[in-house]
Amino acid sequence: MTTATLHDSVAAHRFVDGLTPAHIDVLVGMARFGEYPAGTWVALRGDAADTFHLVLEGRFAIEVAAAGRDPLVVATVHPGEVLGWSWMLAPHVWHFDVLTLDHTRTIAIDGAALRAACRGDHDLGYEVSHRLARVIASRLEGTRLQLMDVYGQPR
Give the residue among 147, 107, 132, 135 at the shortest CA–CA distance from 24. Answer: 107
As a whole number of angstroms, the distance between CA 95 and CA 17 comes to 27
In 10-137, the DSSP E strands lie at 31-36, 41-43, 51-57, 60-64, 72-77, 82-83, 97-100, 104-110
Residue 141 is classified by DSSP as H
CA distance 127 to 28: 16
- Boundaries of domain holding 21: 3-151
Q: What is the pLDDT of residue 12?
A: 96
The C-alpha R_g of the chain, in whole angstroms, comes to 16
CATH number of the domain enclosing 78: 2.60.120.10
120-140 confidence digits (pLDDT tens): 999 999 999 999 999 888 878
Count the domains in the chain.
Answer: 1
Q: Is the pLDDT of residue 35 over 80?
A: yes
Q: Is the pLDDT of residue 146 over 80?
A: no
pTM: 0.88
